[in-house]
Chains A and B, each alone.
Chain A
Amino acid sequence: MSLRKSRVEMPAQDPKERVKNFKEVALGYTSEMAREEASRCLNCKNPLCKKGCPVEVDIPEFISALKEDDPARAAKILKNKNNLPAICGRVCPQENQCEMHCILGKKGEPVAIGRLERFVADWEREQVNLKPEKVETINKKVAIIGSGPAGLTAAADLAKLGYQVTIFEALHVPGGVLMYGIPEFRLPKEVVQQEINYIKKLGVDIQVNFVVGKTATIADLLEEGYDAVFIGTGAGLPNFMNLPGENLNGIYSANEFLTRTNLMKAYLFPQYATPIKIGKKVAVIGAGNVAMDAARTALRLGAEESYIVYRRSAEEMPARHEEVEHAREEGVQFLFLTSPVAYKGDEKGHVRAMTCQKFALGDPDESGRRKPVAIPGSEFDMEVDTVVVAIGQGPNPLVPRTTPGLILTKKGNIQADEETGATSLPNVFAGGDIVTGAATVILAMGAGKKAARAIHRYLQGIEK
């Protein structure tokens, strides 16, 4: 059989059309495409791909089942390890995870593991809707704080072991960034909620509208009878640059801009009551995934022009290549080696222009990227009426502030063991962005998985 060197392309909505709607951009494989792509997998004896998957998906096994045209078995294998496969299949940075290690990548393109994962998960959700197997219950209670990918994974794995698990979530829906941050057109909220429903079917109780540190503290929860706690509160504190005029109207944090749009569905205003104001010319500060999402969202909300404004050059952009490509195709423009130094507003206090400075690339800094150096006298004004600041998020201090004895890092993240999530408190574990700083869905899930295992050992009295 002659192997194709390149992977099967996944169909996508035409860029001209998709910038006018919030429907999913990538359309997913058909069964034929999935089988063809699956047939590329060598079913390696020593599958390198598996090393790259933090939740230990049995990759060759599920792909083999697909090859044999048995998507039901593929789904079972997949869901055994991955509680959120339809999500991972869409937003996992596969190129840096499993696919980076795939042997085929040495000579040609690696197997499109993520796309296959998405296919199987979507098939399962639409066709069979697997019911979880019954497990023997263990009479111990675990509290999970935060329902992002870290918390959901820890909760699901513990429920599968038989624990009684309650998730406490501050917002009115579970999902964390999957619901409020990542846009509908990359990750439909219906898909997220269906995967969360599966986790509920495992027996996990989800209490929304519950802010730990306010509604109750960790000490309160322990007193109420929880035997262990997992903190997965994410990196939800938006950074600003503290520039003159940064509080003018029309300047949003990426979190506000995306939360209004995704979580509150402001793109359906006034059918949904949460407003958002979008101007004609939008500048998004930063060039990570969050910035790409904001710039693409701006176009869909009706902006005429949407710019990524970035201090460094194209090469240093932290966003996934695919996201940058999608943004370009949709008409997002890029202004490199440029950064705002001040904002100017009108008499009503709405932003009208942004004074920018130009930069040149100097010597590499501690991150290994060349450091941007300001060019004196290069200031210029750029007219804008909407700005989205997407320069990163820090850890939310609500839980740390109200949990005496919890040791933090210098940046305010929770200090936790990389392998177990163990914190400075004996029965408290942590993982995901609150520990690592803003990272990825799959790393948060990996941390949740490890912590679940460690909590199990701890509660069985084996070790911490």
Chain B
Amino acid sequence: MYEILKNEVLGSNIYLFEVKAARIAAKAEAGQFVIIRLHETAERIPLTIADYSREKGTITIIFQAVGASTRELAEYEAGQKILDLVGPLGVPSEIENYGTVVCIGGGVGIAPIYPIARALKEAGNRVISIIGARSRDLLFWKEKMAAVSDELLIATDDGSEGRKGFVTDVLKDLLEKEKIERVWAIGPMVMMKAVANTTRPFAVKTIVSLNPIMVDGTGMCGACRVAVGKETKFACVDGPEFDGHEVDFDLAMKRLAIFKDEEQRILAKGQCGGGCGCH
């Protein structure tokens, strides 16, 4: 059992949890994730390790309550316990001193980009970060991001904060203006695809963190397979980070939608309490 120490609302439907997990905190690196299972009848869901404290033996997860499991998680309060938590999974980000790098976090993707930006900064890079969301109430961790970036740029779709537009608009300007060695982008699949398309003409290596559907997270089931270049990879053990110019995003997006009907069904069950007898 893993105790929740903190449950904080970061924005509309976005939550931050700090969880006691000393063994995971001891090994966690930027780019890695955990899988949680809330209770006996729950499903296993992956969440990125947005931060960790080796001293306190805690990890931080940030998630958006989008469906049945994440909404259920959001109801958990400090002091309550999660039944299963396993990690740190996945291959850590490749951190080196590249020179000038750009870290892009879109929506809840701001959380996983943070430890990467911090590690890149610590490795001596000049870090330019771009964070974006639909509107300002979905933005979070501005100060934390600013603290690990040489420059922090913001974009919102509705212009409620920072530049009105997409993170790719900001990125394009940067690419035209100066020499960028590497780009990291984490966010919705469409955003990562757009970022990869933006950097491609500039031939700037672009790392994206894929979030396919997972079950075990240890390479055992193949649910998380993604097409990268000509190969099929298992994102949980070969990734989750891949070269964005090689990823087949359209396939990845279709694969994310496989259980749409079932997800609607279980969500409906949660809302009516299941007493209706309709499912």
Contacts and interface: CB of A to CB of B under 8 A. Distances in A.
A264 interface: yes
B86 interface: yes
B223 A398 contact: no
Contacts of B69: 273
Contacts of B127: none
A211 B42 CA distance: 20
A301 B215 CA distance: 19
5 contacts: A172-B37, A209-B84, A260-B215, A276-B262, A396-B220
Interface of B: 23-24, 27, 37, 41-44, 68-69, 83-89, 215-216, 218-223, 225-227, 232, 237, 251, 254-255, 257-259, 261-263, 265-266, 269, 279
A108 interface: no
Contacts of B87: 211, 214-215
Nearest to A213: B218
Contacts of A275: 43, 259, 262-263, 266
B279 A270 contact: yes
A331 interface: no
A397 to B, nearest CB: 7
Nearest to B39: A273
Interface string A195-218: 000000000000011110011100
A333 interface: no
Nearest to A220: B27
A295 B254 CA distance: 26
Interface string A155-189: 00000000000000011100000001000000000
Given A247-B232, A256-B221, A273-B69, A170 B216 contact: yes
B86 A247 contact: no
Contacts of A170: 86, 216, 218
A404 to B, nearest CB: 17
Label chain A's interface by main secondary structure.
loop
A132 interface: no
A238 interface: yes
B41 A214 contact: no
A148 B203 CA distance: 47
A273 to B, nearest CB: 4
Label chain B's interface by main secondary structure.
mixed
A255 B259 contact: no
B136 to A, nearest CB: 33
Contacts of A130: none
A171 B219 CA distance: 12
B43 A240 contact: no
A211 B269 contact: no
Contacts of A238: 220-222
B89 A214 contact: yes
Given A214-B87, A264-B44, A271-B41, A236 B269 contact: no
Contact of A249 (B84, B222, B254): B254
A253 interface: yes
Nearest to B83: A172
A259 B221 CA distance: 8
Contacts of B86: 170, 172, 209-211, 215
Contacts of A242: 232
Contact of A270 (B83, B227, B266): B266
A256 B255 CA distance: 14
B85 A236 contact: no
A274 B258 contact: no
Contacts of B279: 270
Contacts of A269: 262, 266
Q: Which 7 A-B pairs have the closest CB atoms?
A: A349-B254, A275-B262, A256-B221, A209-B86, A253-B222, A273-B43, A236-B220
A249 B252 CA distance: 10
A214 B49 CA distance: 14
Given A247-B227, A269-B266, A208 B84 contact: yes
B255 A249 contact: yes
B215 A264 contact: yes
A138 interface: no
Given A242-B232, A256-B222, A275-B259, 17 more contacts: A172-B83, A209-B84, A209-B85, A215-B87, A238-B221, A240-B232, A246-B232, A247-B251, A249-B254, A252-B222, A259-B215, A259-B221, A264-B215, A272-B41, A272-B43, A273-B41, A277-B258
A276 B66 CA distance: 19
B211 to A, nearest CB: 16
A348 interface: yes
A237 interface: yes
Interface in A254-304: 255-256, 259-260, 264-265, 268-277
